[in-house]
Amino acid sequence: MQRFSDEVERVLRAAGWQPGRQVDTTAWRRDLESTGFRMHEAAERFLAEFGGLKVDIRGRGISVAREPFEFDPMLADGEDDRFTEWGEDIGQALFPIGVLDQGQFFLGISESGEVYLVTNWLASFGVVPEALERLILGIKADEIAE
């Protein structure tokens, strides 16, 4: 059974992903934990597979425009208060995984593996692989809270 749709797999591979990809997350853990974040298991798994990828997509999506995103948790350095507060609202720790739309929005992952758009409001893209399908195909995240 295929994990991603053909288009999503093509976009991910063009960004440098391949099945079984593993990157070292030690530096991200060390640097972000020194500023107040705590990397949980779901964040570790996600970043080990997708960390460091830059996906440069644009244009019309299914329900929203496709926007570029980057999986680098260091891009949320200094935002631990925002992630902590939203994590309290959903009852799970949120750990940063990157940014969407060239830093306009942060991306985070909960302990249960759900990927969130994190800003002045919170929205869910669902769990992987659904979250990556939605990000790449331009499917609007489900707003959770304002």
Return the structure tokens found at 35. Answer: 């500023």
Return the structure tokens found at 110. Answer: 């909960």
Q: How many helices (H) and strands (E) does the chain have?
A: 5, 7
Domain ranges of the chain: 6-145
Return the structure tokens found at 129. Answer: 């692989």
CATH topology of domain 6-145: SMI1/KNR4-like (3.40.1580)
pLDDT per residue as tens, the chain (146 positions): 689 999 999 999 999 999 999 999 999 999 999 988 999 999 999 999 999 999 999 999 999 999 999 999 999 988 999 999 999 999 999 999 999 998 999 999 999 999 999 999 999 999 999 999 999 999 999 999 77
Containing 115, the helix (H) or strand (E) segment is strand 114-118
State the alpha helices, DSSP H only, in the chain.
Answer: 6-14, 26-33, 41-50, 80-90, 130-137
Return the structure tokens found at 26. Answer: 């030690």
